[in-house]
C-alpha cells in the first residue's frame, strides 16, 4: 500500500477579482514522479507556492494542504511547522535562486542551514561532514570540479544543477520543481530532467515538476496532473495522456510548438570543460 506524501483538498485561490485556482483536489504517493502541466496562467506556479506555504489559499473555503501527514495550511491559515519539517520539502525555482557572488560549494552548503544549530547557521560555519555531503551532491549532478567557482560564472543549465544539489544536501523527502527547464536549451533541459529522474529512482524521493514541454513529461514522468483555467483537468498515468486530451487541454494554441520540442540529445551528462561554457 502506497503512502500519501502530498494531499491537496478543495484548494482555491483568488487574486483580486481573478480566480487562479478553484476546488483543486489530488494526492501524490511517496516515491512518485509527477508532471504538473497546463497552459500559461492555469495556476501551476501558484499551486506549488500554496503547497509550501509561500502563498495562502482563500480563507472562506474548506481548503487543506498536507505534506508528509502534516498540514501546511487549512482554510487559508498557515500552520506552525518546525525547521525540520520545513526541510522535508525542497523547492527548485525556475531562476535558480543562487547567490551569484558566492562559490558553487557555498550555494550548495546553504541547503544545510535549516538543519544546523542556529548559532552556526547565522555565522555560516559549516563542518567537514557538511562540506563532504555538499561535494557528494555536486558530484551527483556532474559539477564537483566547479565547486570553487562563483555561481554567477555558470551557465543556466549549470546553475539549475547547483540548485538541485542544494536540495539534495537539504535531504528533502519531496522535491517541488517550478518550471526548472523553462529557461534552458534542449540539451541542458534533458540533463536536468534526467538528474531529477535519477534522484527519484535511486533515492525514492517524491518529485513534482511543472513543465510546459509535454514530451519531457511523457519521457520522464509516470503520472501527469493538468490544470486548465484553474481547475483540475487531468490526473492519471502519463500513458493515458493522449494527443486528443492534450489538444483539448491547450485548445490548439501552441500545440504544434509543444510537440516540436522533442529532445534529441544523448542520455549522458557530460562534465563542462569550463565554467560559463554555453550549454
Pairing of strands 18-29, 4-15: antiparallel
d(CA 152, CA 100): 4
pLDDT digits 0-9 by tens, 204-235: 999 999 999 999 999 999 999 999 999 999 99
Tens digit of each residue's pLDDT (9 = 90 or more) over 152-204? 999 999 999 999 999 999 988 999 999 999 989 999 999 999 999 999 999 99
Which candidate, 8, 41, 35, places its Cα nearest to that of 230? 41
pTM: 0.84
Q: What is the DSSP letter of 55?
A: S
Q: Which helix H or strand E contains 70, and what residues bound it?
A: strand 70-74
Tell me the pLDDT tens digit for each residue of 229-265: 999 999 999 999 999 999 999 985 544 444 444 444 4
70: how many CB neighbours lie within 10 A of its CB? 13
Distance CA 53, CA 30 (A): 20
The residues, ordered by sequence, that sit 6+ positions from 95 with a Cβ below 8 Å of its Cβ are 183
Contact between 134 and 108 under an 8 Å Cβ cutoff? The reply is yes
- Look at residue 61 and give its three-state secondary structure: coil
What angle (nearest 5°) sits at the alpha carbon of residue 120, between those of residues 116 and 122? 100
Q: Which residue has the higher pLDDT, 134 or 269?
A: 134
> In 3-state terms, what secondary structure has residue 65?
strand
3-state secondary structure 2-47: CCEEEEEEEEEEEECCEEEEEEEEEEEECCCEEEEECCCCCCHHHH
Q: Which residues contact 16 (CB under 8 A, 6 or more apart)?
A: none
Q: What is the full DSSP assignment across 178-205? A: SSTTTTS-HHHHHHHHHHHHHHHHHH--
Amino acid at each position: 500500500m502506497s503512502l500519501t506524501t502530498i494531499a491537496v483538498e478543495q484548494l482555491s485561490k483568488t487574486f483580486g477579482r481573478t480566480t487562479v485556482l478553484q476546488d483543486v483536489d489530488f494526492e501524490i504517493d511517496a516515491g512518485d514522479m509527477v508532471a504538473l502541466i497546463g497552459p500559461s496562467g492555469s495556476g501551476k506556479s501558484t499551486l506549488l507556492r500554496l503547497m509550501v506555504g509561500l502563498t495562502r489559499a482563500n480563507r472562506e473555503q474548506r481548503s487543506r494542504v498536507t505534506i508528509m501527514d502534516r498540514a501546511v495550511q487549512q482554510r487559508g491559515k498557515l500552520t506552525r511547522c518546525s525547521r525540520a519539517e520545513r526541510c522535508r520539502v525542497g523547492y527548485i525555482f525556475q531562476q535558480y535562486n543562487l547567490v551569484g557572488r558566492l562559490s558553487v560549494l557555498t550555494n550548495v552548503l546553504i541547503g544545510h542551514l535549516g538543519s544546523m544549530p542556529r548559532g552556526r547557521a547565522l555565522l555560516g560555519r559549516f563542518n567537514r561532514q557538511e562540506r563532504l555531503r555538499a561535494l557528494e551532491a555536486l558530484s551527483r549532478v556532474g559539477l564537483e570540479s566547479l565547486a570553487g567557482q562563483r555561481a554567477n560564472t555558470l551557465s543556466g543549465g549549470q546553475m539549475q544543477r547547483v540548485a538541485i544539489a542544494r536540495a539534495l544536501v537539504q535531504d528533502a523527502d519531496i522535491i517541488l520543481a517550478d518550471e526548472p527547464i523553462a529557461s534552458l536549451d534542449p540539451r541542458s533541459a534533458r540533463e536536468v530532467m534526467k538528474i531529477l529522474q535519477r534522484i527519484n529512482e535511486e533515492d525514492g524521493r517524491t518529485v513534482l515538476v511543472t513543465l510546459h514541454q509535454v514530451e519531457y513529461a511523457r519521457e520522464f514522468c509516470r503520472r501527469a496532473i493538468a490544470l486548465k483555467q484553474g481547475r483540475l483537468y487531468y490526473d492519471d498515468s502519463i500513458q493515458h495522456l493522449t494527443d486528443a486530451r492534450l489538444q483539448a487541454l491547450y485548445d490548439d494554441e501552441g500545440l504544434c510548438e509543444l510537440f516540436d520540442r522533442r529532445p534529441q540529445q544523448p542520455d549522458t551528462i557530460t562534465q563542462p570543460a569550463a565554467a560559463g561554457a554555453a550549454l
